[in-house]
Chains A and B, each alone.
Chain A
Amino acid sequence: MTDDIGVLSAPLIIEYPFSRTTGPVIGAFLTGLREQILLGIRARDGRVVIPPTEYDSATGEDLTELVEVGPGGVVDTWAWVRHPMPKHPLQVPFAWALVRPDGADVGFLQPVDAGSLEAMATGMRVKPRWGDEREGSIHDLACWEPE
């Protein structure tokens, strides 16, 4: 038995090609993205929630009333990404932000391409930037940019 052996090393890639059914509510949300329309859903207390959920977060009751919101919105809070990772939606420095579209009562996590850290501010107005080829996926909404 020799100790002076070179240790073997090789790439290992694990990939699962999942597809999943969306259900009627998320399906409608993704349909909206494909058609460049943002959809929230009206909760039992009257608030509009985006992305829409099938059930009321407080009572568990079915929610059924999808509501068009946006397209503009407000940045409620954000964090700046200096060094994007390969899987990030933007390959330039950008912000992860909670974006609250006009007419919605909660924000949802979205990338904002503001160009620079100095251009980001809580409360700033943003508008969606749509992907060129949309197929009914969250990626149809490429990111948000200053209005």
Chain B
Amino acid sequence: MPDITLPASLDGVELVRSVRTPARMEYTYTAGVATTRFLKGLAQGKILGERAQGGKVYVPSRGADPQLGVPTTEQVDLPHVGTLVSFCVVNVAFYGQGMEIPYTSGLILLDGSDLPLMHLIQECPVEDVHIGMRVEAVWVDASDLGPTLESIRYFRPNGEPDVPVRQPGEGVTW
């Protein structure tokens, strides 16, 4: 780094080395009709998926079949158990995290659905978390239910034996 020359008026003054440059954006997020149906289901302690014409069940549904582009027509009250199909152990602290590290985020494929949900995996040491593990939802108290995915506190192992999990790309039909 080259030496810089300062005017005499700054002799002996402590130099600035860093600045705070926060970036902030404020939105109003509107869920849309399909996500609203899903969120209202959560407020009733239900996990609602929607079945597309081709037979696949999406959760949360965006209201349309991504394969055919047609509206999803049938709501499906899904069970609260599923299989962990992927996960990530978070070891790095970040701003706004709100969780003690390490913790696990997982993709949970609920039984009878075709799209995994992302949620926390708890009540399981991070080193024991594995793909194929059977998990169940742990809900907040009934009085605390609301139209938010936080109505489910986390998923935990439910003790059932592991099941085989398709690897990415396997069985893809389109």
| Residues of A participating in the B interface, judged by any CB pair closer than 8 Å | 1, 3, 5-22, 24-25, 27-28, 30-32, 34-35, 37, 39, 62, 64-68, 136-137
In the complex, the answer to whether A14 meets B27 with C-beta atoms within 8 Å is: yes
Contacts of B35 in A (CB 8 A): 8
Pick 20 A–B contacts, CB within 8 A, sort by A.
A1-B73, A7-B30, A8-B36, A8-B147, A9-B29, A10-B29, A13-B24, A15-B23, A16-B22, A19-B18, A20-B19, A24-B15, A25-B4, A28-B16, A32-B10, A35-B9, A35-B10, A39-B7, A64-B4, A67-B7
Contacts of A6 in B (CB 8 A): 36
Q: Given B6, B27, B95, which contacts A16 in the complex, CB threshold below 8 Å?
A: B95
In the complex, the answer to whether A31 meets B75 with C-beta atoms within 8 Å is: no
In the complex, the answer to whether B37 meets A20 with C-beta atoms within 8 Å is: no
How far is B13's CA from A25's CA once the two chains are assembled, in angstroms?
14
Q: With contacts A18-B21, A37-B9, A68-B9 known, is A31 near B16, CB below 8 A?
A: yes
Q: With contacts A20-B21, A22-B17, A31-B13 known, is A9 near B26, CB below 8 A?
A: no
Contacts of B147 in A (CB 8 A): 8
In the complex, the answer to whether A24 meets B4 with C-beta atoms within 8 Å is: yes
Known pairs A9-B30, A13-B27 / 17 extra A-B pairs, C-beta < 8 Å: A1-B37, A1-B73, A5-B33, A8-B35, A11-B29, A13-B24, A15-B22, A16-B22, A22-B18, A25-B4, A27-B16, A28-B16, A32-B10, A34-B16, A35-B9, A66-B7, A67-B7
Interchain nearest-CB distance for A128 vs B (Å): 15
In the complex, the answer to whether A22 meets B22 with C-beta atoms within 8 Å is: no
Q: State the main secondary structure of chain B at its contact with A.
A: mixed
Interchain nearest-CB distance for B173 vs A (Å): 26
Contacts of B6 in A (CB 8 A): 28, 66
Contacts of A14 in B (CB 8 A): 24-27
**Does B91 reach chain A (CB closer than 8 Å)?**
no
